[in-house]
Chain A
């Protein structure tokens, strides 16, 4: 069975893939579905959901269209999740490979640095970074990557340490290959798959961290975010709970989709490696 066929075997994985596909499509089509500013006033304030079909999910305290805000919020969540995961994977793989390949003092220093970043609670670090540098989407991405790179770094280092002792690496060395070429062409490609297996967890964690930062008022002030919407709705939690409940459901569905699809992808990749 190929990896792809295995990916679609479990119903959970199919559900996860479907959720992500729909969300991706919505995020990409947001400007076409709801053109104009999603934060513009669209109707009377605090219109309850399912009353007016022009505004199916109702309006918030300022009369903004909840559905338009939700759809545009998908863009921020997915963009931050993917960008933060990419940044932390690249940084982690670089640090881990360097530490594992160089060994000695460089390894020791880099690993103590990794320890230090893992000791400080990631969310506090992100909070401090955003509050010092100032909130914007790219700063939020950097703040999340600042604590998320440690996992990939540890795994990349462990992989490099085990791969560098293998016969084909010794063969490359005997053949007179440059150490840098060995690191980039022989070791790195083989060390990557286990690191990539972490990506779904990192994307999910990044989406949740961005939501929490926005909830505390440290998200990008110029963009609609689900966390920011929940914070908005919190002021009228008693009279209009739907304002905080809807964006929360969107968050849960997104993160769950990432987990489910990620698990299937990891299992599929593992099966393919097992066969070859």
Chain B
């Protein structure tokens, strides 16, 4: 237990440094963007020079860059991300409203790519060099070369336009007044295509890692021993080879989360899923840079939290992890 706690403490300190750098970066981008929040606000509402002065003073934009940075950090410390010009609401509220949809999409897509990827990886790695192995390897590489947004459009053409099996986009049927299980089923139906478009792309990653790991394990002595004991091949593949090759793909789950979040930006805008990614695109369209920075900060926190969780899970799964810290 103390091992996991020590690891947690060290990773938390590291995360705070990383977050500080991200905050500095978003501040720089905010400063570099043409015009400030007042310009954007006036452009959408109208107002005279006196009003501009007043707003600049009230929002602290007439002060020096250092004071502005201090104000920015102070506000962030209070979880205040500022006001969204595009939505005329606090950025935090807008983001929190969209976050669940993105988490649902990302979580489902990750589960799909991990489960299907490792399963196919086991099939490929069961007989390295066989025809099935090569077919799966090339097939997965081809899938990895497909742009996610384009796969989404093709899925829409086939399953929503031609076959009419699934809805074209959105997260649920508008104004259907469904509740409980009926609503959950409705959301699930809407998520099939976006989850497939996002999940299939990253499937190749898990497949290839699993396969490569298994190819390594096959060469080990304990596999020879298991064969010498006359264990059935099926049992050797699953209980010995696959089991020992599973750790790298699990690590990949955490590392992959940032890429998955980036990928969901385009997928959400293809399928009109009202999530964080679509919000980012809306922020770009409305030139709402503070909102965009709020989204970047939120995703950084999300990625750090996911990696922290994976690290902790790892410390429980593998007794070697964090042993150095406990001994020191």
Interface residues of A (CB under 8 A from B): 12, 112-113, 115-116, 118-125, 127-129, 131-133, 204, 208, 211-212, 215-216, 218, 227, 230, 234, 237-238, 241, 244-245, 248, 251-252, 255-256, 259-260
Contacts and interface: CB of A to CB of B under 8 A. Distances in A.
A249 to B, nearest CB: 9
A230 B17 CA distance: 40
Interface in B257-304: 258-259, 261-263, 265-266, 269, 280-281, 284, 287, 289, 292-293, 295-296, 299-300, 303-304
Q: Which of B21, B138, B142, B157 has the most CB of A within 10 A?
A: B21
Given A115-B14, A129-B29, A215-B266, A120 B281 contact: no
Contacts of A204: 145
A107 B269 CA distance: 39
Interface string B235-273: 000000000000000000000001101110110010000
B185 interface: no
Nearest to A230: B150
Contacts of B259: 121-123
Contact of B157 (A121, A122, A131, A241): A241
B99 interface: no
Given A119-B303, A256-B142, 10 more contacts: A12-B138, A112-B17, A112-B18, A120-B300, A123-B265, A123-B266, A124-B262, A128-B29, A131-B284, A230-B149
Interface in B11-38: 14, 17-19, 21-22, 25, 29, 32-33
Interface of B: 14, 17-19, 21-22, 25, 29, 32-33, 138, 141-142, 144-150, 153-154, 156-157, 161, 258-259, 261-263, 265-266, 269, 280-281, 284, 287, 289, 292-293, 295-296, 299-300, 303-304
A190 B296 CA distance: 37
Contact of A128 (B148, B149, B293): B293
B258 A131 contact: no
Contacts of B22: 116, 119-120
Q: Is the interface of A mostly helix, strand, loop or mixed?
A: helix
Given A204-B145, A259-B145, A124 B17 contact: no
A124 B265 contact: yes
A259 B289 contact: no
B292 A251 contact: no
Contacts of B157: 237, 241, 245
23 contacts: A112-B17, A118-B258, A120-B300, A121-B299, A124-B261, A127-B281, A127-B292, A128-B292, A128-B293, A212-B147, A216-B269, A218-B284, A230-B149, A230-B153, A234-B153, A237-B157, A237-B161, A241-B161, A244-B150, A248-B154, A252-B146, A255-B145, A259-B144
A12 B141 CA distance: 11
Contacts of A120: 22, 25, 258, 296, 299-300, 303
A208 B296 CA distance: 21
Nearest to A112: B17
A128 B262 contact: no
A244 B154 CA distance: 9
Contacts of A124: 261-262, 265, 280, 295-296, 299
A116 B281 CA distance: 22
Top 9 nearest A-B pairs (CB, nearest first) are: A123-B262, A121-B262, A116-B21, A255-B145, A248-B150, A256-B145, A121-B261, A131-B284, A132-B33
A240 to B, nearest CB: 11
Contacts of B263: 123
Contact of A238 (B14, B161, B261, B299): B161
A241 B160 CA distance: 13
Contacts of B269: 216
B9 to A, nearest CB: 17
Contacts of A127: 265, 280-281, 284, 292
